Amino acid sequence: MARVRTLAVIPARGGSTRIPRKNLAPLAGQPLLAHTIRAALDAARIERAVVSTDDEEIAEVARRHGAGVVRRPAELATAEAPTEPALQHAVREVERRLGYPVENVVLLQPTSPLRGAARIDEAVALLEQSGCDSVASVTADRGYYFTGELDADGRLALGYDPRRRLRTQEIPPRYRENGALYAMTRAQIMERGCRLGADVRALVLSEEEGVDIDHAIDLLLCEAILASRRLPPRVAPTRRREAALSPGL
């Protein structure tokens, strides 16, 4: 077997606050988790993909779709537990099985099902070629922002000059972390204990790719996007067909 250079870890605990059993929620005929497993397995730069879970049903789904499984201790699977300790636990367990350390770690949240294999490969390439310690996927956001603060009377504090309102395409973009994808060196997560380090590079995803499923309406949005991808391409009508389709006068 080829040596594992880059490990993908997909954290998928059984509990969920807003959507019951969210990681197994159906999406386009498959459990939500399966979409991220498929992207990881299709990525050329990922040699091994594992699901970290405390849940037997999730473990079975992971195995059925081709991923390895790391059973997560209960104390690392609570709603309050941060992701990093679970990620470290998964890396240690995989390295114990392999008998040697991996070099890079990719964190893939199953709640971002529209980020594909090509983007995962881009992130790992950026990590390796730039010499940075971490990569985070982001989404460009152009909009008018208030400062986010209200005074005692409910007045908004403006973060821009409303007399010099630009068109949205002219507004310099702000980049927000979308949570879909993180790539990091082993040293960054195992020695420094954080997914993001001192030198973080951005992988810019489209708004669609960066969708994060947090509420039921997000599932409906992803379902619609995936359905649109399956539609046959629109064929431009010929002149004769255009005439046939035109309403009569």
Q: Known catalytic residues? A: 165
Tokens of 160: 């821009």
Which residues, 6+ apart, have CB-to-CB distance to 216 below 8 Å?
A: 18, 19
Q: What is the DSSP code string of 168-205? A: GGGSPPEEEEEEEEEEEEHHHHHTS--SS-SSEEEEEE
Under 8 Å between Cβ of 203 and 123: yes
Identify the sign of the CA torsion 83, 86, 90, 92: positive
Cα 42 from Cα 22, distance rounded (Å): 23
Under 8 Å between Cβ of 106 and 182: yes
Whole-number Cα distances in Å, 40 to 5, 120, 201, 224, 234: 14, 7, 20, 22, 30
Alpha-carbon torsion angle 177, 178, 179, 184, nearest 10: -50
How does DSSP classify residue 249? -
How does DSSP classify residue 218? H
* Count of beta carbons in the 10 Å neighbourhood of residue 156: 11
